[in-house]
Amino acid sequence: MTSEAVVTTRGLTKRYGSVVAVADLDLEVRKGEIYAFLGRNGAGKTTTIRMILGLIRPDAGEVRVFGPTADSAHPEWLRRVGSLVETATAYPNLTVRENLDLHRRYTGAPARAVPDVIEQLGLAPVADRRAGQLSLGNKQRLSLARALVHAPALLVLDEPANALDPAGIVEIRQLLRSLADGHGTTVFVSSHILVEVAHLADRIGIVHAGRLIEELDREALIAAARTFSAEQLTDQQRADALLGLELERYFLARTDEGPR
């Protein structure tokens, strides 16, 4: 992995009236890594992602993507980015294949990209079904396929496991891992599910009330959670606790403490 920064934010701040959604946020996402942005609902994750993608303007600070400042007036850098923000969307009267082909043409990807991504995301059984008739899980898969169809250098995914069953979550985790390890794709993924990102991410930033309160790699997170469990729980509780519960307790303790 290289230390080259793909996404950098400095002093990033966004307010909605008296509410501070993101406060003085400094982030650096490195080329070829999976960076998980972890926080409770309402912590500022989606607002941060929307600023990274140039969908909303920050009130202070800056965002740099692939070097230059992200600028909606000069969006050439967006062709190198695949994204899924908030909810799965598609043209409901078009089929899965037609939705993907439309996005493929817009991004300039080759025709072969559509069947390839249909296979990657397990969409072959519903490829000719209208998007409006899909289950929530398959709508999520379609949105992920759209984000991937042009083989982006950077993937920005907001809660990509939403509406997926456990098997689907594992498949997406394996896919993202293979993209990072095999193709050097940089992945910035938000989640409120600590156990899931602990299995996936190279580095994890914990955000609470719009502030980055801690940043650590996967091994450090698991070690810290085990230490927290050993210090805070009785012998019987430690015997009963699974790693996932330890991680959740650690996360809740960090966010209750606030910035350190």
In the chain, which residues have pLDDT < 70? 1-3, 70-75, 224-260
Taking each helix axis from N to C terminus, what angle separates 96-107 and 136-148, rounded to the nearest 10 degrees?
Answer: 20
What is the edge-to-edge ordering of all strands in the sheet holding 5-16?
19-30, 5-16, 60-65
Tokens found for residue 27: 């982030």
- Rounded distance between C-alpha atoms, residue 134 and residue 117, angstroms: 17
Q: What's the distance, Cα to Cα, between the start and end of the chain in Å?
A: 28
pTM to 2 decimal places: 0.84
Instruction: Tell me what pLDDT residue 249 has.
Output: 63
Instruction: Tell me what pLDDT residue 233 has.
Output: 54
Quick one: 115 exposed, middle or buried, by C-beta within 10 A (0-12, 13-18, 19+)?
middle
Residue type, 15: R
DSSP 221-254: HHHHHHHHHHHHS-HHHHHH--HHHHHHHHHHHH
What fold characterizes domain 5-257? Rossmann fold (3.40.50)
Instruction: Tell me what pLDDT residue 93 has.
Output: 96
Instruction: Tell me what pLDDT residue 2 has.
Output: 45
Q: What angle do CA 207, 138, 7 make, to 5 degrees?
A: 35
